[in-house]
Amino acid sequence: MRVQTFVELAQVLEVSRQALWRYRKLNGSPRPSRRGHDVEAWRAWIRAYRPPEPTIEELADMIAADHPAAEREQVRARIIREYRQFLSDLPGIAEKVNRELEEALAGGSL
């Protein structure tokens, strides 16, 4: 499949135009031909290029790095602790939202 414009390519790939514009500037990104942009080539390139998602520990390290050295370990530990608490609370939150939605639907308020 081929598309003619970057706007069409971004829509088909379900990425923002801004992300696609940044990708375009990287070495090895697919180049358009006279027939347009090759969607499958872009999909394969994005899959190969996209770095893995960072772990919560890596994210906490990145955020803590912006704090004074004396506070870094405390900041890192707080981020990880709050993230884990959020994950443990998530099933209860989802259950509550589902229950409230069912009640609203049953009561005709939605």
How far apart are alpha carbons 14 and 43 in whole angstroms? 10
What average pLDDT does the structure give for the chain?
89
The confidence score (pLDDT) of residue 39 equals 96
The confidence score (pLDDT) of residue 53 equals 72
How far apart are alpha carbons 64 and 71 in whole angstroms? 8
Are 96 and 68 in a shared domain? yes
The confidence score (pLDDT) of residue 1 equals 92
pLDDT higher than threshold 80 for residue 110: no
The residue out of 49, 68, 83 marking a domain boundary is 49
Are 32 and 74 in a shared domain? no
What mean pLDDT is predicted for residues 5-12?
93
Distances (CA, A) of 69 to 64, 66, 75, 80: 9, 9, 10, 18
Are 9 and 40 in a shared domain? yes
Are 42 and 15 in a shared domain? yes
How far apart are alpha carbons 58 and 54 in whole angstroms? 6
* Whole-structure pTM value: 0.47
What mean pLDDT is predicted for residues 27-55?
88
Tens digits of residue pLDDT in 50-71: 766 778 898 899 899 999 999 9
User: What does the block give as tokens for 35?
Assistant: 């027939």
Check: CB of residue 24 under 8 Å from CB of residue 38. Answer: no
Are 44 and 69 in a shared domain? no
Considering its fold, how many domains does the chain have in total? 2
Q: Domain of 79?
A: 56-106
Residue with tokens 């890192």: 76
